[in-house]
């Protein structure tokens, strides 16, 4: 009786830090987020960005897919996100480190204030970006972005 042993590499079911931020984030994790805590990883950046998006007029219909997460300078983030109407934040040094997160999903824009009876536009498929200062000191922005941005 001969036994054959394979030398194939066995893939561990564990995710590295480079993959963990792609995992769906439970609502309880989002609710437990502490604003103002410095952001030290891609997963923390995704959580902070999801929380920030939840406070905007743009609602994700289903949990969005993470397309990209990068730690870059504010100058780089502004180049990626610059479109007419986007806040420029001239009082922040361009070398400030920020996390730039791009989400893809189905989005619904809500009226600017409660009580306004404007019919919202239909939901749309697309991408939203969030940049948030690494120090998480309140400097952040969100907006629409081309899903092919890198």
Cβ count within 10 A of residue 100 = 24
Residue 80 pLDDT: 87
Residue 45 pLDDT: 94
Look up tokens 């604003």; give the residue.
35
Q: How many residues does the chain have?
A: 150
Residue 97 pLDDT: 96
* Torsion sign over Cα 29, 31, 34, 36: positive
Residue 68 pLDDT: 93
| Average pLDDT per block of 10 residues along the chain, 150 residues long | 41 48 63 78 92 86 91 92 64 92 91 72 90 89 84
Exposure of 123 by Cβ count < 10 A (0-12 exposed, 13-18 middle, 19+ buried)? middle
Residue 76 pLDDT: 93
Q: What would the two tokens of residue 55 be?
A: 């406070």
Question: CA of 120: how far to CAs of 44, 63, 107, in Å?
Answer: 32, 20, 11
Residue 14 pLDDT: 43
pTM of the model: 0.77
Residues in Cβ contact with 125 at an 8 Å cutoff, skipping those fewer than 6 apart: 104, 105, 106, 107
Question: CA of 2: how far to CAs of 5, 29, 63, 139, in Å?
Answer: 10, 51, 51, 66
Residue 150 pLDDT: 64
The Cα–Cα gap between 82 and 145 comes to 9
Residue 10 pLDDT: 40
């Amino acid at each position: 009786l001969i036994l054959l042993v394979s030398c194939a590499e066995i893939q561990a079911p564990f995710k590295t830090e480079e993959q963990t931020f792609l995992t769906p984030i439970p609502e309880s994790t989002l609710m437990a987020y502490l604003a103002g805590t410095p952001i030290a990883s891609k997963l923390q950046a995704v959580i902070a960005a999801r929380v920030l998006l939840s406070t905007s007029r743009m609602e994700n219909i289903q949990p969005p897919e993470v397309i990209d997460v990068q730690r870059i300078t504010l100058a780089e983030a502004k180049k990626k996100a610059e479109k007419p109407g986007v806040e420029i934040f001239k009082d922040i040094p361009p070398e400030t480190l920020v996390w730039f997160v791009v989400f893809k999903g189905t989005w619904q824009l809500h009226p600017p204030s409660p009580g306004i009876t404007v019919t919202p536009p239909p939901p749309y498929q697309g991408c939203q970006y969030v940049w948030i200062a690494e120090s998480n000191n309140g400097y952040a922005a969100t907006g629409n972005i081309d899903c092919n941005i890198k």
